[in-house]
Structure 1
Amino acid sequence: MLTKVADLFSRGVRRYLPDSLVIAVLMTLFVLVIALIMNPSSPMKMFSAWGDGFWKYRAFTMQMVLVLMTGMVLAAVPFIKRGLEVVAGWAKTPRQAYVFTFLVSAVAYYINWGLAVVVGAIFAREVGKRNEKTHFPLLVAAAYAPTALYSAGLSSSIGLTVATPDHFLADMMGVIPTSETIFSLPTIVILLALAITMPIVIALMAPKENIVRYRPPHGKQEAQNESAAASAEPLTPAERLEHASWLGILMGSVGLIYVFYEIVNGKDINLDIINLAFLSAGLFFHRSLAQFARAFHEAATSISPVILQFPFYAGIIAILGSSGMGQAIIDWMTAVASKDTFLIFTYWTAGIVNILAPSGGGQWALQGPIQVPAGMQLGVNPANVAMAVAWGDAWTNLIQPFWTLPILGVVGLGIRDIMGYCILLSIWVGVVTSILMFFLY
């Protein structure tokens, strides 16, 4: 039954869902029109808000891009890639393939969602090569599905933001240590519940007919041949320096020593620490600066749609804030909330807002100043408010195509290929998380 429903969703999505850039533009126009209707006396204010907000999150965009790219570069380290290939060989049946892919990707998402993008893509690709009975689009959906768990991981945008000294809400809620957010008992319970049940749902969606097998992207073999031919030529003195292993090891060691020193001396984990740690580890394990730069270049190719589309969503966030639309959505949800239901309504609201503005940090900039004081007035712990927004942000990542772009770029599929499966998974995640949040927080 679930297979038939998943197939129906998948066929519908392939027919009617446009490209992710088209979705970003359509959302921008939709939000702008609603904002103009809500503010008929000041139309230019809405256009100004969009233009001013378009580049508002330049620094945050750079942090997010580095989270993705440093994670992808680290996953491209040869011994990590070989390890993934070995583990991929353990999956002997389609169901094992789906479950293994989800679990490996989930572990990577917990460590770093930038790392997870390429780990999940590489693992899905290797499993797809070895198991011809596996439906490759569902395999990629299984690799992407743990994005619903990232808010409980070590690279949680909101969890790390509120743990950063002098964050923009520090005067209101203080600095919240990660022990009260991503490492709290309720967060861990929800994380485990989803990690156990989601792969079961994925396995039950597996089609029995019309299996789409893995096909390598065009041009990949040619690029590998050109690289091999180039490496056979004698190196100049300058090129020998570029390929010297000691430079990468030395520079990587400097960064890792700094990260270790800061953590040992009580500095909490934040985005800057995460980025420096993975950048330094990438340098250390790639060793050759030429190899590191090549991996960074390949990561940039997959990340380019994120760089292109992030400003559009920043503009949407600015319109939501300036027009009063974002506050209207949040107020509408929280007006009927009590102390016991506030976090669930916050979670649902965050899920809705995330569809329009898919950025944990950007969304927190919009929702945090409204949700935190409202929750504190009801006696709700601000750390729990932050996690409710974080869980909502991660929940609808499953149906917001923005963050699928890097992984789809690696595996050579389109958003239409996996979104039908992601919609069903998002329904499951929403139900499970809502129930657990009510009883645990």
Structure 2
Amino acid sequence: MLNRIANKFSKFVERYLPDAFVIAVLMTLFVLLIGFFMNPMEPKTLFTSFGNGFWAYLAFTMQMVLLLMTGMALASVPVIQRLLTALASKAKTANQAYVLTFLVASAAYYINWGLAVVVGAIIAREVGKRNKKAHFPLLVASAYTPTVLYTAGFSSSIGLTVATEGHFLEGVMGVIPTSQTIFHPGTFIILLTLLITVPLFIVLMAPKKDIISYNPPILKNARTPENETNSSSPALRLENTPILGMIIGAIGIIYIVIEFVGGRDLDLNIINLIFLSLGLFLHRSLGQYAKAFKEAAGAISPIILQFPFYAGIIAVLGSSGIAESIINGMASIANEQTFSVFSYWTAGLVNILAPSGGGQWVLQGPLQVPAGMQLGVDPAVTAMAVGWGDAWTNLIQPFWALPILSVVGLHIRHIMGYCILLSIWVGIVTTILLFFVY
């Protein structure tokens, strides 16, 4: 039955879901309209907050862009690509293909969601090449669905933010070590439960007919490395030697080791430097790394285009009182036992309008943390509840699916039907567990 529901729902979504940029613009207009009705005498304030907010998160945007690009460049290292190709050959049936794709992408999302974008795309593509009985849109959905797990991993925006000295809420909640957030036992329980149940749900959704198998795009302007590396000019020899990349990568790695020995915790900046240094060290040359970085930039261009719009939305949500009304409304009916669940639901709702874990924390944290502390809720629990809620509705907010779709050549409407159904399951499981694990 789930198979038939998924098939019909997917076809319905394919027909009616617009492009992600269109959704971003519609969201902007929707929030401005709601803000106007809530504050009919202050339209100037709404437009001013939108315009100011449009550029308010440029530093954070750069951190996020680098997180994606360094992760994607690392995933394109030949040894990693060969490993993924070898893994793809292990899936002999369609069901094995879905489960393998999900688990490999989950491991990558746990390490770094920028890395996971390309790892997920490559594993879905390679599995699709070898298994024509697998429905390729569902394979890609399987590669994207582990986005719900990233908040438990090494690139958790909120978990790393609150662990960073000088973060904007330090005066309220202090610096929260990752042992109380992403490495908390409750986080591992939710993570393992989703790792077990979500692939089973995917298998139950798999179509039995009308299979769309992988159809590789025609490669244009293919590079010919032998022509690029055989030149004897000094300039090209510098570009193609592996020595420079290994030296500068090793310098970064040494700095990272020194920082960790000195007691530094994980944060966005150190994660970015880890993946930048490893990418430089493992690529065959600086020229190859620059090309990988350039290709990554093309894949994330929709994010660069759309993030300022969502930053503007975040500002309007704050200035108009919309976010405060949502958060205070849920907090008013919560108690110490249910606050984490209401924080999770609130974060899921806000994330649909403002799909950025860090940006959402800037909006939601100053309201959510004090409300929780008044009820006796540990700020670390509030942070993780908001993080899980942010990750949950990534499945139905198309923004973060754009890079992987760019790599595999699909449109958001091809996978969104499956993602929406999966979001329902993830929401039920996580809601129940939040009552008990923190």
2:362 paired with 1:365 = yes
> What residue in structure 2 maps to residue 61 of structure 1?
61
* 1:234 alignment partner AA: S
* 2:436 alignment partner AA: F
> What residue in structure 2 maps to residue 113 of structure 1?
113
* 1:364 alignment partner AA: W
Q: Is the 8 A contact 2:352 2:393 kept in 1?
A: yes
Distance 1:423 1:317 in 2: 23
Alignment of 1:305-344 (within 5 A): 305-344=302-341
SS in 2 for 1:384: helix
> What residue in structure 2 maps to residue 157 of structure 1?
157
| Structure 1 spans left out of the alignment, 5+ residues | none
Q: Is the 8 A contact 1:21 1:309 kept in 2?
A: yes
* 2:31 alignment partner AA: V
* 2:138 alignment partner AA: L
2:193 paired with 1:223 = no
* 2:35 alignment partner AA: A
Distance 2:262 2:425 in 1: 41
| Offset, 1:228 | 4.4
Question: Which deviations, in whole Å up to 9, do the C-alpha atoms of 1:190-227 show, x marking residues without a partner?
Answer: 00000110001001111010000111123x2x322x43
> What residue in structure 2 maps to residue 253 of structure 1?
250
2:73 paired with 1:73 = yes
Alignment of 1:207-286 (within 5 A): 207-218=207-218, 220=219, 222-224=220-222, 226-228=223-225, 230-231=227-228, 234-286=231-283
> What residue in structure 2 maps to residue 166 of structure 1?
166
| Offset, 1:233 | 5.3
| Structure 2 spans left out of the alignment, 5+ residues | none
2:134 paired with 1:137 = no
| Offset, 1:364 | 0.3
> What residue in structure 2 maps to residue 428 of structure 1?
425
Distance 1:382 1:402 in 2: 28
- Cα gap change, 1:8/1:176 in structure 2, threshold over 3 Å: closer, same or farther? same
SS in 2 for 1:223: coil
Distance 1:291 1:215 in 2: 27
> What residue in structure 2 maps to residue 383 of structure 1?
380
Distance 1:346 1:187 in 2: 15
> What residue in structure 2 maps to residue 179 of structure 1?
179
Q: Is the 8 A contact 1:247 1:287 kept in 2?
A: no
> What residue in structure 2 maps to residue 96 of structure 1?
96
> What residue in structure 2 maps to residue 51 of structure 1?
51
| Offset, 1:243 | 0.6
- Of residues 181-190 and 33-42 in structure 1, the stretch that sits farther from structure 2 once superposed is 33-42
Distance 1:10 1:328 in 2: 34
Distance 1:146 1:308 in 2: 24
Q: Is the 8 A contact 1:70 1:275 kept in 2?
A: yes
Aligned-residue sequence identity (percent) comes to 66
Distance 1:418 1:299 in 2: 21
Runs of 4+ in structure 1 off by over 2 angstroms are 226-235
The TM-score with structure 1 as length reference comes to 0.98
| Offset, 1:8 | 1.4
* 1:265 alignment partner AA: G
| Offset, 1:334 | 1.3
Distance 1:88 1:223 in 2: 26
- Cα gap change, 1:320/1:237 in structure 2, threshold over 3 Å: closer, same or farther? same
> What residue in structure 2 maps to residue 414 of structure 1?
411
Distance 1:346 1:230 in 2: 56
SS in 1 for 2:300: helix
Distance 2:229 2:55 in 1: 45
Q: Is the 8 A contact 2:229 2:236 kept in 1?
A: no
SS in 2 for 1:268: coil
Q: Is the 8 A contact 1:247 1:289 kept in 2?
A: yes
> What residue in structure 2 maps to residue 356 of structure 1?
353
Question: Which deviations, in whole Å up to 9, do the C-alpha atoms of 1:150-175 show, x marking residues without a partner?
Answer: 00000000000000001000000000
The TM-score with structure 2 as length reference comes to 0.99
Distance 1:306 1:76 in 2: 20
Distance 1:129 1:16 in 2: 29
2:391 paired with 1:394 = yes
| Offset, 1:229 | 6.7
| Offset, 1:234 | 2.6
Question: Which deviations, in whole Å up to 9, do the C-alpha atoms of 1:355-376 show, x marking residues without a partner?
Answer: 0000000000000000000000
* 2:79 alignment partner AA: F
2:301 paired with 1:304 = yes
> What residue in structure 1 maps to residue 202 of structure 2?
202
SS in 1 for 2:221: helix
* 1:372 alignment partner AA: V
Alpha-carbon RMSD: 0.9
> What residue in structure 1 maps to residue 30 of structure 2?
30
Distance 2:398 2:180 in 1: 30
| Offset, 1:232 | 6.7
Distance 1:229 1:284 in 2: 21
Distance 2:106 2:142 in 1: 9
Q: Is the 8 A contact 1:56 1:314 kept in 2?
A: yes
| Offset, 1:265 | 1.1
Question: Which deviations, in whole Å up to 9, do the C-alpha atoms of 1:371-409 show, x marking residues without a partner?
Answer: 000000000000000000000000000000000000000
Q: Is the 8 A contact 1:161 1:361 kept in 2?
A: yes
Distance 2:257 2:396 in 1: 37
Q: Is the 8 A contact 2:105 2:119 kept in 1?
A: yes
SS in 2 for 1:355: helix
Q: Is the 8 A contact 1:251 1:284 kept in 2?
A: yes
- Of residues 275-284 and 230-239 in structure 1, the stretch that sits farther from structure 2 once superposed is 230-239
Q: Is the 8 A contact 2:231 2:237 kept in 1?
A: no
How many residue pairs are counted as aligned between the two chains?
438
Q: Is the 8 A contact 1:259 1:273 kept in 2?
A: yes
Alignment of 1:287-302 (within 5 A): 287-302=284-299
